[in-house]
Amino acid sequence: MSHSTQTTHKDIVKITADTISLDEIAQSVHDPKAGAISTFSGTTRDNFEDREVKTLSYEAYIPMAEKAMQSLITTARSKWDDLIHVAIVHKIGDCPVGETSVVIAVSSGHRKQGLEAVHWLIDELKVQVPIWKKEVYVGHDAQTGAEIDGGAVWKANDTMI
Amino acid sequence: MPHFTVLYFASAKDASKTDSDKFEWVEGITSQDLSQLLLDRHPALATVLKTSMFAVNMEYMDQDQAWTVQPGDEIAIIPPVSGG
């Protein structure tokens, strides 16, 4: 098989304390050869089992997390050969309710492989990448109803390796 | 003296109240010995260690296989992850 021009494939992996923007990350995987840009954007929920979440924060083993994210992209490229550029960006530090915590964006020649790769990448990220989420809850005083410390919990995703 | 480093994250960091420790390395420290060394230094880690994995030099270790600590290793305690 021969191609008239060679496309350089970009792998973008980032863990950042800054606010992350779906638009910017989708833009970063744009390519003239792409017929599709598939994305996943994860946002933080305001509740867990009827408890009101006040704030959330993420912590990462940054070098290992970036390495694990790169390794997921390498594996995705071996499973789906139509991928052009792939970006995975995860936020750390405080992440107010409703804010974006993770974005995955994949450009591909056609939509099918891009959509499958995005789905696979977020599932694997949640199992393999060393990042942790802490939820801080709002409590209410039983008598006055005033807001009090409701405790905090390190979360665990459903599946472990 | 050679050393190795242990990193603590999330619930492991809360339990140990530190993000890292240095340990003196001697020949033949197994993964089981390591768990005991960690508990001796931080008894509060007992609960966390039951559900955590180890990563050595940023690679997850197979929980069913014994391994030994090498001088200079960076060993991380990885509690159940919750990224995404």
Q: Which residues of B touch A64 (CB under 8 A)?
A: 55, 58, 76
Query: How many domains does the structure of chain B reveal?
Result: 1
Angle at Cα B33 formed by Cα B28 and Cα B38, nearest 5°?
130
Whole-structure pTM value: 0.92
Report CB contact under 8 Å: A157, B81. yes
Instruction: Give the ipTM.
Output: 0.96
**CA pair distance A34, A67, nearest whole angstrom:** 26
Neighbours of B44 (CB within 10 A): 12
Contact between B47 and B27 (Cβ < 8 Å): no
> pLDDT tens-digit profile of B16-50?
999 999 999 999 999 999 999 999 999 999 999 99
What number is the average pLDDT over the span A40-44? Answer: 95
Best mutation target among B11, B56, B81 (most A Cβ atoms within 10 Å) is B81
DSSP class of B30:
B
Spelled out in words, what is the top-level CATH class assigned to the domain A10-155?
Answer: alpha beta
- List, as ranges, residues 40-69 from B with C-beta within 8 Å of A: 51, 53, 55, 58, 60
- The helix, strand and coil proportions of chain B, stated in percent and rounded to the nearest 5, come to 30, 30, 40
Helix (H) or strand (E) holding A105: strand A100-108
Closest partner residue to A157 (CB to CB) among B7, B11, B84 is B84
> For position B72, which CATH number holds?
3.10.20.30
Domain enclosing residue B71, as ranges? 3-78
